[in-house]
Amino acid sequence: MIIEIKKLHQNALLPTYQTTDSAGADIYALLDQPITIPQGQIAIIPTGLSVAIPSGYEIQIRARSGLASKGLLIPNGPGTIDADYRGEIKILLLNLSGADFEITPEMRIAQAIIAPVLQAQFTVVDELSETERGSGGFGSTGTHK
């Protein structure tokens, strides 16, 4: 699949797959200098890129496992970039580590997954079909057996 990318800044780095079988392409921070995300805070990190995603697809933005293991997460993860969005890709990062976290220029800060999208037609009905679970909510299927 071809995804057209526009570099909004000459120093922007294109997403890269680190291995042949990587599902996610790493996304890089476009920063002039390091920034610090205080503990418990969210930062918006520019990438300097915009994309043209084919209709019927989205890009999901997910945390990188190496950063997540240190407490740096995507707060709306996975985030979605819709096929009709043409603005700059910016990455939301939430610092849940026990200390301030420094993001450096060209740091790999997230990963992008290309995924198909289905749109549903929502129909109002009077009753829904019955299931074994029914209306049981969080934890209703049992977590320890």
Residue 85, CA distances (Å) to 13, 52, 54, 92 in order:
19, 8, 11, 16
Q: Please, are residues 75 and 62 in contact by the beta-carbon 8 Å criterion? A: no
Model pLDDT, residue 145: 53
Instruction: Extract the residue ranges of the chain whose pLDDT is less than 50.
Output: none
Q: 């198909």: which residue's tokens? A: 116
- Residue range 61-73, pLDDT digits in tens: 999 999 999 999 9
Q: DSSP alpha helices (H): ranges in 1-145?
A: 65-68
Name which CATH class applies to 4-116. Answer: mainly beta
Q: Please, are residues 50 and 27 in contact by the beta-carbon 8 Å criterion? A: no
Domain extent listing, the chain: 4-116
pTM of the predicted model as reported, rounded to 2 decimal places: 0.87
The SS3 of residue 140 is coil
